[in-house]
Amino acid sequence: MGNDYDLDRRSFLKMTILAGGAFALGLYTPLRHLGQEPGQQPAFAPVAFIHIDPSGLITLMAKNPELGQGVKTMLPMLIAEELDADWNQVRIEQADLDPEVFGPQFTGGSTATPINWDSLRRVGAAYRQMLITAAAQTWGVPESECTTDCGKVVHATSGRMFPYSRLAAKLATLTPPDLSSVKLKDPKDYRIIGKSHPGVDNHAIVAGKPIFGIDFALPGMLHAVIQRCAVFGGKVKSVNIEEVGKLPGVRKVLIIEGALTDDPIAPAEPGMEPGVAILADTWWQAQSARKSLKIEWDYGRGAAQNSADFAKPAAELLKSAPAYAIRSYGDADGSLKSATKVLEAVYAYPFLAHGTLEPQDTTAAYQDGKLEIWTTSQMPAEGRASVAQAVGIDPGNIKVHLCRAGGGFGRRLTNDYMVEAAWLARQMGAPVKLVWSREDDFAHDAYRPGGFIGLKAGLDAQGKLVAWRQHLITFGQGKNTVEGGDIGGDQFPAGRVQNFSLGMSTIPIWLRCGALRAPGDNAYAFVHQSFLDELAAAADRDPLDFQLELLNAAPDTTTKVDPQNPDLLNSERMKGVFELVAEKSGWRNRKKSPGRGMGLGAHFCHLGYFAMVAEVSVDGLNRVTVHHVWAAGDIGSQIINPAAAESLCCGGIIEGLSHMQQEITLTNGRVDQTNYHQHPMLRLRQVPEIEIFWRKSEFPPTGLGEPALPPILPAVGNAIFAATGERIRVLPLKKSGFSYA
């Protein structure tokens, strides 16, 4: 998550003939893969597939994993629009993992839209052009006289019409057009893009159809659970295998030696934690048998870790200069000495679990040297590679089916459960379904790392920000951080303040960490936007005016500025969402009253801009009610599926509000939280009224999975300050003396 991709628009078509006279179209697009260095030659890979049945049914393959973000509906919409298909005649199927046919197949980093926006539309447009060519040749008329209309090619002069299905055989004789030459629709003519469409699986979900990974079943499969050490990395010394093996339904008890490395930065690749696996006829029998396990553990290095001990070394590190410089320009120290007013603050945020509604699961079947896997992975290709390494099977002998997942948020980027299921299936030589319990999921997650940030900033006599110094205390070893624990040097207000310094120090930890929705940004937006609100208050300035002033300032000479580059902060786009949310929320006319206030927060990440205003009240017991949230977003020129876009934004806001009351802590190496009652999601009664507003810009549309989350945390924190005068610098809220009502 959080990686950038270069999409080269030069591409070409590949054609194949399918059985039954149908026609398939694949698009090859150069794409920089995950982890590929800039300057490397990108690989060509097909990323789309169309099948027109002789009966008239159009099947579009959804290539990416669906985790509730709506990509299974959205990506086919791009093809269908330019194909000029009748959406009511479109059927969508989930593609299996096959990068040679569908190209990179993953979910993460809000990348599905920016990667596929141009290429998938061109697939539909090329196919539409070929349909016109086929009809024109059949009729013996110029192509210029033919048009398409909702699944038909029309020759208006003669009144003739061909449904697409009649042209499938003729298409096979045609040479595909160059993609750069195909004509895309004028957006004013869109009939599918920009219109709300329900998710293709909605009815099946409501009807309780077995479409999720946890629903999948194979005849004769065994059900598996794994008892892992409560302390990360702990190994089995002894276990009562024979006793447990005799319990009802139990077929096998296996010790998993594990595949942990000695690297504290990436300790769990390829995903095999040590433990004891129980395989039984039913999951309940396997889960019940766990209670009879008597395991003696070697807890290892992790047993010495306590969350209560992290604050002390962090405080000591904050007294000194950062161990590693990340970015510095101007003279921050000198400007702080001469500033009219100087503010200092220390912010802290906790480790977090993902808490996906569907716990981790995978089904695997092994036979004759081959594996077949049904998984909910966000990164199935990487998962297949890890399986191949762990099990000793050539990747070509591993077939992976993509199942719908009940949430991911970055958790399913880590393929530990996929590797475990495959390893067990290989050991048993039979189908195995592995399902983690909820307690397993909380105790053995890849956690969002916590951290501490020391800030010091200076204001001049006019209340203008002239210096910013920041010291991040994160987790890692030396200059290498755990996954999700690093920070870039371009986080706002970097580049917009005259004198700036950002550095980092690390605290060692032995725990698996990973990306959580809007990785890094989900913490840093809270810190930066809250401290900017502090500075505005100290300067006796309106927070909105204070931030607009920074955005209007000329960037320093070390800051990259290119208004046409969507990867770089665009001041006009950020100002646009600030001004839009201020207008819609009535920010300029807000009234001050005891115990009630409005707060502002904004952030740019994953190519998207969001600004939010939250209105809260706080009672005499410091219980917070979030009454209303206004959100303004700029994700480019099109909102592809408005209903799904609004849903994603609301989901991001609700998850961000949940983050404010969540934490993962360690006691003697053990995770203290076991379920939602200790790591709570926002209750339905606590969800505020949410209004979403869009500011369209000339940029290509971008994703929504991440950018709508980060701004809500500072917006609520700043609203609490407006209501009470108390500043939220430490999360969760209870550590600052507050809670949700």
- Encode pLDDT of 232-257 as tens digits: 989 999 999 999 999 999 999 999 99
Q: Please state, in angstroms and rounded to a whole number, the distance separating the CA atoms of residues 173 and 28.
A: 20
Q: pLDDT tens-digit profile of 391-410?
A: 999 999 999 999 999 999 99
Confidence of residue 444 (pLDDT cuts 50, 70, 90): very high
Q: How far from 660 is each of 405, 716, 728, CA to CA, in Å?
A: 25, 9, 10
Q: Which of 607, 601, 610 is nearest to 528 (CA)?
A: 601
pLDDT value for 16: 26
Confidence of residue 100 (pLDDT cuts 50, 70, 90): confident
pLDDT value for 303: 96
The angle, 0 to 180 degrees and rounded to 10, between the axes of the packed helices 521-538 and 543-552 is 110
Q: pLDDT tens-digit profile of 467-500?
A: 999 999 999 999 999 999 999 999 999 999 999 9
Is the confidence at residue 106, as pLDDT, over 50?
Answer: yes
Is the confidence at residue 114, as pLDDT, over 60?
Answer: yes
Q: pLDDT tens-digit profile of 51-64?
A: 888 888 999 999 99
Q: Which amino acid is at 699?
A: F
Q: Mean per-residue pLDDT for 42-56?
A: 63
Q: What are the beta bridge partners of residue 505?
A: 473
Q: Mean pLDDT, the chain, as a whole number?
A: 92
Structure tokens at 716: 């609520």
Q: Mean per-residue pLDDT for 611-616?
A: 98
Domain spanning 12-206, CATH architecture: 2-Layer Sandwich (3.30)
Q: Mean per-residue pLDDT for 616-632?
A: 98
Is the confidence at residue 504, as pLDDT, over 60?
Answer: yes
Q: Which of 87, 78, 21, 101 is nearest to 58 (CA)?
A: 87
SS3 of residue 227 by DSSP:
strand
Q: pLDDT tens-digit profile of 4-39?
A: 323 222 232 232 222 223 445 544 333 333 333 333
pLDDT value for 258: 85
Confidence of residue 192 (pLDDT cuts 50, 70, 90): very high
Structure tokens at 720: 């609490």
Contact (CB, 8 A) for 77 and 192: yes
262 or 286: which carries more pLDDT confidence?
286
Q: Mean per-residue pLDDT for 82-95?
A: 96
pLDDT value for 261: 73
Q: Which of 316, 432, 414 is nearest to 366 (CA)?
A: 432
3-state helix, strand, coil in the chain (%, to 5): 30, 25, 40
Q: Please state, in angstroms and rounded to a whole number, the distance separating the CA atoms of residues 458 and 481.
A: 29
Query: Which DSSP symbol is given to 323?
Result: S
Q: How far from 420 is each of 31, 395, 476, 615, CA to CA, in Å?
A: 31, 16, 26, 46
Q: Mean per-residue pLDDT for 171-194?
A: 91
Structure tokens at 407: 């949430």
- For 202, half-sphere exposure in the C-beta direction (CA atoms, 13 angstrom radius) is 10
Q: Please state, in angstroms and rounded to a whole number, the distance separating the CA atoms of residues 673 and 312.
A: 22
Confidence of residue 620 (pLDDT cuts 50, 70, 90): very high
- Tell whether omega for the bond before 642 is within 30 degrees of 0, i.e. cis: no
Q: What are the beta bridge partners of residue 17?
A: 23
Question: 102-138: string of b/e by CB count within 10 Å (b at 16+)?
Answer: bbbbbbbbbbbbbbbbbbbbbbbbbbbbbbbbbbbee
Q: How far from 26 is each of 9, 228, 317, CA to CA, in Å?
A: 15, 44, 55
CATH class, domain 213-301+360-435, is alpha beta
Q: Mean per-residue pLDDT for 443-462?
A: 97
Q: pLDDT tens-digit profile of 644-690?
A: 999 999 999 999 999 999 999 999 999 999 999 999 999 999 999 99
Contact (CB, 8 A) for 626 and 660: no
Domain 308-352+447-740 part of CATH 3.30.365.10: yes
**Residue 40, phi then psi, degrees to nearest 5:** -70, 150
Pairing mode of beta strands 465-477, 480-481: antiparallel
Contact (CB, 8 A) for 205 and 211: yes
Q: How far from 33 is each of 6, 375, 496, 717, CA to CA, in Å?
A: 9, 21, 32, 38
- For 438, half-sphere exposure in the C-beta direction (CA atoms, 13 angstrom radius) is 11
Confidence of residue 437 (pLDDT cuts 50, 70, 90): very high
Structural domain boundaries in the chain: 12-206, 213-301+360-435, 308-352+447-740
What does pTM read for this prediction?
0.93
Query: Which DSSP symbol is given to 39?
Result: T
Q: Mean per-residue pLDDT for 206-212?
A: 96
**Residue 258, phi then psi, degrees to nearest 5:** 90, 165
- For 333, half-sphere exposure in the C-beta direction (CA atoms, 13 angstrom radius) is 3
Give Cβ neighbours of residue 524 (< 8 Å, ≥ 6 apart): 453, 487, 491, 710
